[in-house]
Structures are given as C-alpha cells and as structure tokens.
Structure 1
C-alpha cells in the first residue's frame, strides 16, 4: 500500500518510529528498544490545510489547555498559528504501529515546547502528557524516539539515547499488511488475556527473550539475535494469534518451518506493519519486504 504524499522541502520533518523489541511487555516493565524510521515522517507547515487536520490540532490545543500543559508548551502561539492556517504535513499511516501521533507530538514539542535543561526521562514525561490527548495514557516512548531521531533503549531505570553506536539492522525488514487498525482494540484483548495464568507465564518468558534480543543486537551477534527472534516469533504465534492478521498466519508459520525468515509483531499488531528478521534477503524477495539498513533507511 502506498501512503506517500508530496512533502514540502522547507518543512522540518520528524521521522516515524519502529518498536523493535518490547511490544506489550514494555507495559509490564520489560526492556524495550525503539528506532527512528525515515520511510515516513511529518512536520508543521503553512501549506494548504484541511478541516480534518485543523480539527486534530484544535483537539490537541484544547486538551493541553484543559490539562494545564501551558507550563510546558506555548499554547498561545500554537493557537495563533492554527488560526493562521497551520497544518501538519505527514505521510505516516494511521493505525500502523509507526507512531503517527508520536511524530505529531515530537513536532509540537520542537516548535512550541518550553524547553529547559532536563533529563530524557523528564522530556519523555512532557511528551507523554501531550500524546495522551490521542491515546488516553501515553508512555511518551514514540514521540521521544521521533524527537531525538535516535534509537532509544528503555528499561526500569530510565531511557538511554543510542547516538554514538549505530545499530546494524540489516537483518530486519517489514511487511505492509495494508490493514489499518485501532491500537486500543488490541490493548483490550491483551488486558483480557493477562488474567490467564498460562498467558502470564508466556509474558515472563517474552520479557527474558526481549532482553536477550536487545543484548545480542547491541553485540552485533546476528546469529544468536536471529535465534532469539525465532523464539519470540514462536511464542507470539502461540499466544498472540489474535493480534496476527489471518492472511499472514500461513506466512508466519512458513518462516518458522523453513528458517528463511521469522515474523514478529510491530507494535500492537492486528495489521499495519509486521516486523521480520532474515539472514538472506534473496530468499524473501517474494514477500516484497521493506528492509532496514544500518542507518534505519529503506533499501
């Protein structure tokens, strides 16, 4: 599915994000790793606006005003700009697990944020408060990755921007399901499943696997990284089948059977992008994958 639109060369854009490891379990305190992805982006401009975008910006303004976020954002300037035709120029598809609202909030903080010397954790909290306009409760993870335009490692002790050491993501790829979904629908399914003892055991195993996956990626140990991704793929097929689009169940199983590739959820699942890992690009060309380079660009 082609979501591309014509973007202005003069606008400051912020990249979308991909949660490589930690989907769902990050809400339970597990480690997570997210990276920026410049295949999709968005930024403010004064190009021709639409009523739909204006309503979204007014929703954000009203939410921030009602929740007294004026201590963090210049809401007066934001409202003046909206009245003067401010729009949000973006090609990030909604409901795809790529952080569309996070891109908006990253641009919002960059342009209107009242910035002080603060830790990444403090910035993340300020971003989360604004993004909660769209998600009810936000972790701030998505807008932080887009704002920093850097991979970010999240743990119970805080978050670390990985600016100095580029990650080798050459084994990772994405598949576009062409399906837009609501994150909240799948979060509700997850909450219901969390009362099951067997599912809780799976989550504990996934927490450990996420940590192993992140550590092997940091060490450039691609063989062991692939082995861990395989285990994650197996567990998600077993315990998260509701989050896997039906049309992709066969592909998921085939990857595990042939060991040519392994698939895993990208965010909440249910549609959007599916993440994959493969040791051979040639063997999966028929899947029409979008590969990730070491600089997180499409190939």
Structure 2
C-alpha cells in the first residue's frame, strides 16, 4: 500500500444520442479536457473515513444524500480491499449537475485513487464495473456513456452493452459548451422518458429511433468533414429531445438565440432540463461572438473546444 493514492478523470460532452442511448441507440461523446477531477486517498488520522470536498468536509458517513454514490462506492472498495480507514480529498473543476459527467468522473477518479493507494493494477473492465455501480446509485438507469467518456482519452461511438469504439473527430469546426447555470435533472429526465415510454410506446420509440438515426448520420458527417450537415442534425436532435420533455424553456431560448446569431447547430447535452448545451460554429470568431451574446442573455459560463484539426486550438 502506498502512502497516497491519486486518481484523475476528465469531464465529458455528449455530442449526439442523449436518452436514446439508454434504449439501444448509438451516442457520440468525447472527454472534455477543459474540466477535470482529482481524487487523493491517504490513511485517516482519526480511524474514521473522512472527506474534503466542495460539497462536504468531515465524516464520510455524514455526507448529504446527493453524495450517496460516493459513500457506497468507497464502502465497497474499502471492504473488497480490506483497507484501513481513509481520508478522501476531491478537487474538481467540473460543474456538478450540468450534464458534463461529474458523478461518473468522480467515480472514475476515486476508483483509480483507491487502486493506486492499494498499489493494485486496474483494468478497464474493473474501472467501468465500479463506475457503473456508482452511476446506478446516482442516476438509476445510466447508459454507461458517462463512465466510458470520462475514463477515456479519445472520442467514442457508444452502444449500450456493446464494444466502445474510439471515434476521431475530423471536423473543421468549433464547439461552444455553455452552462445555463441551472442544475440538470438527469435522474428525473431519465425517469420521465421511461414513464412516457410506458404511456405511449409508439410515440416515444419513434423519437428515440430518430435520434439514433441522426446520431449515425452525424458520425458520417464528422468523418466526411461536413460541419453544416452536423449542425442541422444537432438542431433536429434537440427538437426530438424537446418532444420527449427533457429540455426546458431556458435551454430552448438559448438555442434559438445561438441559431439566430449564425450557429451551424445547437442542442442540449447530457440529461437535460437545465445543465449545459452545445453550439457548433464554423469559426473560432463565430464561437467567441455567440458566446458573448449568450453570456449577455444569462449563460453562466462557456468553454470553447476545437474539433478535428482545431482540437488543440
């Protein structure tokens, strides 16, 4: 066992396929390196499991209910390793409940830190097992895409219970990631889609299947370097998601503004009902200009990420 164990994870952005991916349709996501989480583990000085984080500092057993997944994950890892009492420190720049994968990322970082602390090798299969265990507590019926995207280093084409396929983004475009400042409601949104599916299976299935179709076309648009086509697909995907009641008026208004200002496309990203949305632009100047307009309109924060040849711009 080491004196200190360290684990890291990035945020994530879902480009296409939210909610439909839970029902067997594909999704496209990629790690978002603009945000990350670092978890640090060491032996507790008080023989009691403790935590230091922006949400709670003190005994791990006293953490609020929204950290129940962390309590369960650390308890399971501690028991399986027969580990001593520990102190967990979590440092994060990923905004919580914004659809950027914060709950999955913290599980990735904690799992990596635990294995590092115990000086044990960690396979990808083991990592995803523990992260999905944590995500089930956090979100009820997660697709697994957050776990895959926050633990990887490349964009992915994802199908639930299928092999994760690395997916390079060869696109001459920029992506603006904007935070509405409103907490997303992933668990409630997932439950709402499930209830809608029970009430009107034909209606719900049609929208989910069409989102899957749009996602497959998006893959082709990216591979063919057709940003205009991708933008249209993104916007249509948002309209489909809105029909499934996982958007809200704030998201819809921001997206209309971005499109009116010349964006190629825009849509919510993640669970919806708040959180973040993404805006595709042809140029960096367009992204900066639209980002300024959105901030004037009330967006809390925004990040810019180049795609393809602009990935590190």
Per the TM superposition, whether the score is higher than 0.5 is: yes
Structure 2 residue corresponding to 1:271, chosen from 244, 269, 274 = 274
**8 A contact 1:261–1:279 mirrored in 2:** yes
Q: Give me the whole-angstrom Cα distance separating, in 2, the residues matched to 1:123 and 1:152.
A: 17
Instruction: Please say if 1:24 is aligned against 2:31.
Output: no
**8 A contact 1:14–1:149 mirrored in 2:** no
Which residue does 1:7 correspond to in 2?
Answer: none
**8 A contact 1:25–1:206 mirrored in 2:** yes
Structure 1 residue corresponding to 2:148, chosen from 139, 144, 150 = 144
Query: In 2 relative to 1, CA 212–43 (structure 1 residues): closer, same or farther, beyond 3 Å?
Result: same
Deviation at 1:190, TM superposition (A): 1.5
Which residue does 1:203 correspond to in 2?
Answer: 208
Q: Deviation per CA, 1:216-251, whole angstroms, max 9, x where unpaired?
A: 2133222322232232234334x14x4333234334
Query: What SS class does the counterpart of residue 173 from structure 1 fall into?
Result: strand
Unaligned runs of at least 5 residues, structure 1: 1-9
Deviates more, 1:138-147 or 1:264-273: 138-147
Deviation at 1:136, TM superposition (A): 3.3
Instruction: Please say if 1:81 is aligned against 2:86.
Output: yes
Unaligned runs of at least 5 residues, structure 2: 43-50, 296-301
User: What TM-score comes out, normalization by structure 1 length?
Assistant: 0.76
Q: What is the aligned length?
A: 278
**8 A contact 2:218–2:230 mirrored in 1:** yes
**8 A contact 2:17–2:215 mirrored in 1:** yes
Q: Deviation per CA, 1:19-75, whole angstroms, max 9, x where unpaired?
A: 111100000101111111122211113698258255359955763487x6679x63x
Query: In 2 relative to 1, CA 222–166 (structure 1 residues): closer, same or farther, beyond 3 Å?
Result: closer
**8 A contact 1:170–1:292 mirrored in 2:** no
**8 A contact 2:9–2:37 mirrored in 1:** yes
Alignment of 1:224-263 (within 5 A): 224-237=229-242, 239-240=243-244, 242-255=245-258, 260-263=263-266
Which residue does 2:106 correspond to in 1?
Answer: 104
Which residue does 2:290 correspond to in 1?
Answer: 284
Deviates more, 1:106-115 or 1:22-31: 106-115
**8 A contact 1:15–1:40 mirrored in 2:** yes
Query: Structure 1 or 2: larger strand share?
Result: 2
Which residue does 2:307 correspond to in 1?
Answer: 294
Deviates more, 1:258-267 or 1:44-53: 44-53
**8 A contact 1:123–1:144 mirrored in 2:** no
Q: Deviation per CA, 1:236-281, whole angstroms, max 9, x where unpaired?
A: 34x14x4333234334335556753422121111111112222344
Which residue does 2:92 correspond to in 1?
Answer: 90
Alignment of 1:156-235 (within 5 A): 158-162=162-166, 165=168, 167-168=170-171, 170-194=173-197, 195-196=199-200, 197-235=202-240
Structure 1 residue corresponding to 2:34, chosen from 33, 39, 48 = 39
Query: In 2 relative to 1, CA 202–60 (structure 1 residues): closer, same or farther, beyond 3 Å?
Result: closer
Deviates more, 1:255-264 or 1:125-134: 255-264
Alignment of 1:56-67 (within 5 A): 56=63, 59=68, 63-64=72-73
Q: Give me the whole-angstrom Cα distance separating, in 2, the residues matched to 1:205 and 1:136.
A: 24
Q: Give me the whole-angstrom Cα distance separating, in 2, the residues matched to 1:132 and 1:156.
A: 14
